[in-house]
Structure 1
């Protein structure tokens, strides 16, 4: 791991080297996988032999991302037989489209072992300015999208399956202007616990990951404002932004057999910012 000399707040990381041989040949469904962390998740899992169905409302970009990852896997992989990434469209606010996404996985690969509810929106508005439309969209995508994804996954997973939801450090630490977002992510954290309790009867584990400031499109507004970046880094004990690879590492663990007795938890990947 090295620090970018041109931007001390950003860290240039090498790929996560951890490998879990038992995951090869299994199938993962990932929503919001056309770019950002979702694309990183798809690439990282496929590199380890996991077949991936990536869903995104922008199906054109999703299919381009899938093609790019598959091309990379032809020359770069941690296993002899890398996985295949298939792109499809999904509107996560529609439960029928989650079911259609599940059917793509079953048709292409015959099974669903992992489901990652990654799709989300990140609206800004001070409390007095939050509109009915904004709060409705935020809850529809960030909360109902998780619920509908978990429902589709649980219908088709066998015992031993794993669901991972994307929460946020904002579920624990409120930020001005993010009232709708913080509320939705707090709901995701609590919904994760409810899902873990109920789906445990089926032998399905459910956990969530709560990222902090990660170097993705969602944090460009911070990186493009020197004052905002300085404030953000002051609130992170490690004094840098995280990299998408550093979120992928905990995801890989939660999906693996190493976490087979871990369910109902939220892992913060935030450089310690929730404590400041």
Structure 2
């Protein structure tokens, strides 16, 4: 059996995903919230497969540092890696998404994929959710997805793909996360709406719904023995997932192997939504 720290007989589950898709090298992807966590894993994983990446993050300095680190690491380990360009972006601004698209076109001459990964994870009991908290999470987690998809759709051609980050919290109640759960339910439904309308342009729109994943956003789970035991007990695979395992779903959804899949949310949750 795997242990709660995400390791087991097969070794660390943070090892890179081995899948490769021959249609991806040379493509160009924009990823928001790419300075750390899952966004950084996404950027590195795509670049390792020859995809050029424009990473945007509210912390532009950290984004640039992350991009440089990925580029330096891949130079010595990968033949013909993609290049990662880091820039600042506030996802609550529609205009700044347009600048991300413009950066991709200026740097690489094309745009094929867009990953709306940026998000926030506020906590408050339902009776204490403030207007500022609710407004803030909806601006980042929902408006940020809409504006990113709009910017992408202005430049993507047939075969282009947009992937949004939803959550198993879109369908499961988590105490103290009412505002967050609401925002992710909105992302799931918005994904379906965008898939219907952008399908006219041949653009696919899907979402990934992670469960408990080992990132800074869920560090509180690992630091609280009671919360960790509860999390592991409610996951049929009895462990917390890794960002690399979420990347596996992203890689598939961006590839031509998913060319007839649109309007869906793929749960990467160890089966927790069924418990």
**TM-score using structure 2 length:** 0.97
1:8 counterpart SS class: coil
Q: Which residue of 2 aligns with 1:167?
A: 166
5+ residue gaps, structure 1, are none
Please say if 1:88 is aligned against 2:87. yes
Contact 2:4 2:232 in 1 (8 A): no
Distance 1:24 1:9 in 2: 33
Q: Which residue of 1 aligns with 2:132?
A: 133
Contact 1:9 1:233 in 2 (8 A): no
Q: Which residue of 2 aligns with 1:178?
A: 177
2:158 counterpart SS class: coil
Contact 2:4 2:240 in 1 (8 A): no
**Which string of whole-angstrom CA distances, capped at 9 and with x for unpartnered residues, describes residues 168-226 of structure 1?**
00001110000000000000000000000000000000000000000000111110000
Contact 1:9 1:239 in 2 (8 A): no
Distance 1:16 1:232 in 2: 24
Choose 12-21 or 104-113, whichever is displaced more. 12-21
Q: Which residue of 2 aligns with 1:187?
A: 186
Matches within 5 A, 1:61-210: 61-77=62-78, 80-210=79-209
What is the root-mean-square deviation of aligned Cα atoms in Å?
Answer: 1.0
Distance 1:57 1:220 in 2: 21
Q: Which residue of 1 aligns with 2:263?
A: 264
Q: Which residue of 2 aligns with 1:46?
A: 47
Distance 1:84 1:9 in 2: 32
Equivalenced residue count is: 270
Contact 1:62 1:89 in 2 (8 A): yes
5+ residue gaps, structure 2, are none
**Which string of whole-angstrom CA distances, capped at 9 and with x for unpartnered residues, describes residues 135-186 of structure 1?**
0000000000000000000001111100000000000111000000000000
**TM-score using structure 1 length:** 0.96
Q: Which residue of 1 aligns with 2:21?
A: 20
Q: Which residue of 2 aligns with 1:10?
A: 6
Shift of 1:9: 3.4
Contact 1:237 1:271 in 2 (8 A): yes
Displacement over 4 Å in runs of 4+: none
Distance 2:4 2:108 in 1: 43
